[in-house]
Structure 1
Amino acid sequence: MKPIVILLIISLIFSCKSPDARRPESVQSGSFYEVSAERNIKLNKKEQALIQKIIDRNPDQEYIASKSGFWYFYNSKIELDTITPQFGDIVNFKYNIKDLNENTIYSEDDIRTQNYVMDKEELFTGLREGLKLMKPGEVVTFLFPSQKAYGYYGDTNRIGTNIPLICKVTVNTIKQNQ
């Protein structure tokens, strides 16, 4: 009888122990993210230097640096106080896409006139943000670093990985959302 009591007491003592936390099998140091961030910083600096060369070669143009990280100038500016697109507005526009060497990637004929519902449809980041700055009748040329264009993946057709772009955009009309 004594051995059973002793076994019961021992099993009670060991069964009351709280479970140990499980340890991960492998620990990641985060170095992948650090290397990726460094690579992107270098790429951004390189692209900004290329864009700055274009700006320097065209002193006649008044380039404006956007808060979003791209540059633009007005080919045709509307001075009147008219509307700019807001969320849900339908923007009718046309544009072309060139690389920084002015080689045409997509012409206006390739892309055709677009109807875009502001912030409700897919459009690359820089163009979406650029359209928000425009009024009907304006023509603007944008210089987009790759992270504001098609980024790492490109468009899986003619635009490759990390390609900065020049886009000349014409807004035809803006139909305000009711």
Structure 2
Amino acid sequence: MNKFYLLSLILFAFISCKSPEARHPVSVKSGSFIDASVERNKKMNSKEHAHIKKLIQQEKNLKYIASPNGFWYAYKTKLEADSLKTPKFGDVVTYNYNIKALNGTEIYTTENLKTQTYTIDKEELFSGLREGLKLMKEGETVTFLFPSQKAYGYYGDGNKIGRNTPLICDVTLYSITENEHN
């Protein structure tokens, strides 16, 4: 009987020492969902850009500048003084803004949003406004036109801004407090 247990134990140890085998996927995805999503996003993006460019052409009072970051902006109040600096990483800025849909309907007023304080690139803020604040000097007011991917994107803000909504923001930068480490 002891030989049987010993033989079973050796056989069990031999079988359990087998290296694991790789499992193969049950089904293979072709990537067609991703391809369709990319095409859908390209079409949506080109529609938004066309709508924004149409707004820019209709606007006679402001001269819009295309940002390398994927949005457009125009100065309502521009300061030409070279001594004034734009905010850098870690600087604290105080500003206020409003948010409108491209048709001009106000979504959030400056009274709704109140005066904001933001530490450049260290806090959460939608990407367009984060990049836009870096272009401004103290005392300037700028109108930004953000396509949806530079605004709240696919998810919206979970409140009044729906998904894939391009926005207009009027922003006034009140102060820049430099970070001691800059």
**Fold shared per TM-score above 0.5:** yes
TM-score normalised by the chain length of structure 1: 0.88
Match of 2:147 in 1: 145
Question: For the residues of structure 1 that align with 2:86 and 2:31, how far apart are their CA atoms?
Answer: 43
Question: For the residues of structure 1 that align with 2:168 and 2:20, how far apart are their CA atoms?
Answer: 60
Match of 2:53 in 1: 52
Corresponding residue pairs, total = 165
Decide which moves more: 107-116 or 29-38. 29-38
Instruction: Report the secondary structure of 1:159's partner residue.
Output: coil
Identity score, percent = 61
Question: For the residues of structure 2 that align with 1:158 and 1:34, how far apart are their CA atoms?
Answer: 30
TM-score normalised by the chain length of structure 2: 0.86
Question: For the residues of structure 1 that align with 2:20 and 2:47, how far apart are their CA atoms?
Answer: 53
Given residue 62 of structure 1, which amino acid in structure 2 is its aligned partner? K
Match of 2:24 in 1: 23
5+ residue gaps, structure 1, are 1-14
Deviation at 1:27, TM superposition (A): 1.3
Question: For the residues of structure 1 that align with 2:121 and 2:149, how far apart are their CA atoms?
Answer: 18
Question: For the residues of structure 2 that align with 1:19 and 1:176, how far apart are their CA atoms?
Answer: 58
Q: What pairs up with 1:95-106 in 2 under 5 angstroms?
A: 95-106=97-108
Question: For the residues of structure 2 that align with 1:34 and 1:24, how far apart are their CA atoms?
Answer: 21
Given residue 103 of structure 1, which amino acid in structure 2 is its aligned partner? T
Given residue 33 of structure 2, which amino acid in structure 1 is its aligned partner? F
Instruction: Report the secondary structure of 2:145's partner residue.
Output: strand
Match of 2:40 in 1: 39
Instruction: Report the secondary structure of 2:33's partner residue.
Output: helix
Match of 1:129 in 2: 131
Instruction: Report the secondary structure of 2:49's partner residue.
Output: helix
Given residue 65 of structure 1, which amino acid in structure 2 is its aligned partner? A
Deviation at 1:62, TM superposition (A): 1.1
Deviation at 1:32, TM superposition (A): 1.4
Instruction: Report the secondary structure of 1:72's partner residue.
Output: strand
Given residue 154 of structure 1, which amino acid in structure 2 is its aligned partner? G
**Cα deviations across residues 41-86 of structure 1 (Å, max 9, x unaligned)?**
0000000011011011013321100001100100000100111111
Match of 2:169 in 1: 167
Question: For the residues of structure 2 that align with 1:19 and 1:65, how far apart are their CA atoms?
Answer: 56
Deviation at 1:19, TM superposition (A): 6.7
Match of 1:72 in 2: 73
Match of 1:155 in 2: 157
Given residue 173 of structure 1, which amino acid in structure 2 is its aligned partner? S
5+ residue gaps, structure 2, are 1-14
Runs of 4+ in 1 over 4 A off after TM superposition: 17-20
Decide which moves more: 143-152 or 55-64. 55-64
